[in-house]
Amino acid sequence: MKKLIILWIILLLSACSSNQETGENTIIQANDEDEYSIILPFVASDIRQYHGTYLGRADFLEIGSRLEDKSKEYFSVDDYYLSEGHVISNSDLTKLVRRESTENPYGLNPPSGSEFLVGTSDIAVLDAVVVADIMEIDFYQQSGGNVSLAGLSFAIVLNQSLNTPDGLVTVSDQVLYDYGSNMGRKLDRYIRSLSDMEDMPIYIALYVTNPTDAVLPGRYIADGYFTARGGQFSPNNEQWVLFPSAQATTLDAALADKFNNFKSSITTFIPESIGVIGEARYVDNQTNFLRITLTLQAKTYSEIRALTQYTTELLQDIDQRDYPIVVRINSISETLVLIELSEDNKLDIIYTY
């Protein structure tokens, strides 16, 4: 615990030494050159409660972290600062996630009484709720000692599983792409109808959720960059894959084999069983991120220390990669150790006890 407290003090002092006051704001410089600096004071979004109600932990973290990463193509970390989204208010979100009607022309869900074709076997869903949520992050630039809003990123959250009287039905990716693209352009028009938003650069991505009982997060299927002169969507190829699984072996036989070897070595470490689960994100069929969770019922401090060291050694066997690996070592449901191996082989270990 003393090590952890000292680490936090060092990080706090480092952050304070790199702070930059700009008008009424303070810019907290990023510790990593590939990340955004953050604007303080942090002001919570008006619509955060809505996100907390309708999005699970896995989805809201994946939506936000990937939206930030994907935005870097258009809003450089060298030129922009990151902030919580504040353009969409509660009243705006209410209009957008409701059904389209004469009174609510900007509604992103199908009109009341309409049937929504899911793209398979001519199945149609009455009064489908396709758009579940909208997430926002904002980007600022500095000029003359002040910072001002200079770009917006949105994620439109789409339901792939729709409720019917006969149970859940699955909407095809093509239908979600076509519908989501149309709703994305409508969102762009709505944002530009707001005050001072006419010329704002806007990035919009389409995120598809998995069923509520799914183990893995959802995925982004499309994105587009829009200016006052227009823009268009293009497909994205992203997915999460569970290791070990038949899907993992089919998609990435080499990594599946290395993971199986890793798991085999770990499971024989102590007499009692150790759960070993991997979750990998793939972008354009290439591994983008690997997360491994080890779960055991720890009995001694020494076995946790030894398991940590053994794990870091085994991770070196997952070579020829350009993606980070994060390992959590859990005793039942409590995380005791976090290990991060960066894409350039920088190793960080944090003991949380």
251-277: per-residue pLDDT in tens? 999 999 999 999 999 998 888 899 999
Please state, in angstroms and rounded to a whole number, the distance separating the CA atoms of residues 30 and 47.
26
- Residue 52 — very low, low, confident or very high, per pLDDT cuts 50/70/90? low
Q: Where are the beta strands (DSSP E) in the chain?
A: 20-22, 25-28, 37-40, 81-84, 115-117, 124-126, 131-143, 146-159, 161-164, 167-170, 202-209, 219-226, 233-235, 238-243, 275-283, 286-296, 325-331, 334-341, 347-351
DSSP string, 73-105: TTS-TTT-EEEE--SS-HHHHHHHHSB--SS-T
Span 95-134, pLDDT tens digits: 999 999 999 999 999 999 999 999 988 899 999 999 999 9
Is pLDDT above 50 for 12? no
- Span 80-101, average pLDDT: 96
Q: Taking the domain 241-351, which CATH number applies?
A: 3.30.300.190
Predicted confidence (pLDDT) at residue 241 exceeds the cutoff of 60: yes
| pLDDT score for 10 | 39
What's the pLDDT score for residue 319?
A: 81
pLDDT at position 240, please?
Answer: 97
Topology classification of domain 19-236: sex pheromone staph- cam373 precursor fold (3.10.570)
CA distance 160 to 220: 12
Query: Model confidence at 159, in pLDDT bands (50, 70, 90)?
Result: very high
Q: How confident is the model at residue 11 (pLDDT cuts 50, 70, 90)?
A: very low
Q: Residue 43 and residue 25: Cα distance in Å, rounded?
A: 11
| Residue 5 pLDDT greater than 70, yes or no | no
The answer, yes or no, to whether residue 3 has pLDDT greater than 70, is: no
Q: What average pLDDT does this structure show over 296-316?
A: 94
pLDDT value of position 15? 43
Whether the Cβ atoms of residue 25 and residue 39 lie closer than 8 Å to each other: yes
- Which residue type, as a one-letter code, is found at position 81? Y
Answer with the residue of higher pLDDT: 336 or 211. 336
This prediction has a pTM of 0.89
Q: How confident is the model at residue 31 (pLDDT cuts 50, 70, 90)?
A: confident
Give me the chain's average pLDDT, please.
90
pLDDT band at 212, cuts 50/70/90? low
Confidence class of residue 296 from pLDDT cuts 50, 70 and 90?
A: very high
Domain definitions of the chain by residue range:
19-236, 241-351
What was the pLDDT predicted at 334?
95
Output the pLDDT for position 1. Answer: 42
For the segment 296-317, the average pLDDT, to the nearest whole number, is 94
